Amino acid sequence: MTESLSPSSDDRLPVSGLLALAMTGFLCIMTETLPAGLLPEISAGLHVSAAYAGQMVTAYAVGSLSAAIPLTLATQKWRRRAVLLLAIIGFLMFNSITALSSNYWLTLVARYCAGAAAGLAWALLAGYARRMVTRPQQGRALAIAMVGTPIALSLGVPAGTWLGAALGWRLAFGVMSAFTLLLVGWVLATVPDFPGTPHTERLPFRHVLMTPGVRPVLGVVMTWMFAHNILYTYI
């Protein structure tokens, strides 16, 4: 995913499109961590213990971990906006199921599938932002596209927890579904489309993994993400 837009005469950043990507990241984080702040309400609503309700976060994480690479490879040749919309519509469907479900196991399946949608979305966002701008703008574009993550963690999750505690946890997930529906239109209106990557341009995963420096970087990132998610989810 190295192709980018040709330089424009004014070199303006496509801020609206980049913010649509940021909103996608915002929804990924909100969907992942919201149950952690609403465990008593969810456990009462699904008639399970708080420990079982907490597995909603685990199911989401397992979905992201197990599906990110297979889904990314399976959709590699697809048009990029179609893949992005597939991930976003996945959030719409599975958050809606979570909001409406009264069955614990159905809720866990929906959470797993939402995690899979998140894994696909995270694989897209950084590269998509870079392709939307010229090379000198790629750093700023990436900063805008990733701003949804800190906003979700610092403001979105507390606000969602307050809303869920005040009006019900199902409504909190329903509100996220409503925002996701708006995001579909936002992406269609402002995010440009790009072709996928032909299989002839794809490096084998083993070759990438054996590239000098890749494994230490992956190890550091995995350790950091592990600690990061423990902190925000359980503390």
pLDDT tens for the chain, residues 1 to 235 = 445 554 444 478 999 999 999 999 999 999 988 998 899 999 999 999 988 998 998 899 899 989 988 999 899 999 999 999 999 999 999 999 999 999 999 999 999 999 999 999 999 999 999 999 999 999 999 999 999 988 988 888 788 889 888 889 999 999 999 999 999 999 999 999 999 887 666 667 677 777 887 788 878 877 877 776 677 666 6
Tokens standing for residue 189: 């209106």
Displacement of CA 23 from its chain's centroid (Å): 9
Would you say the C-alpha torsion 124, 127, 131, 137 has a positive or negative sign? positive
Backbone angles phi, psi at 193, to 5 degrees: -100, 150
Domain regions of the chain by residue span: 15-198, 203-235
Asked: is 15-198 a CATH 1.20.1250.20 domain? The reply is yes
The three-point CA angle 83-115-53 to 5° equals 155
* Rounded Cα–Cα distance for residues 72 and 228 (Å): 24
How far from 165 is each of 35, 36, 102, 144, 159, CA to CA, in Å? 11, 12, 18, 31, 10
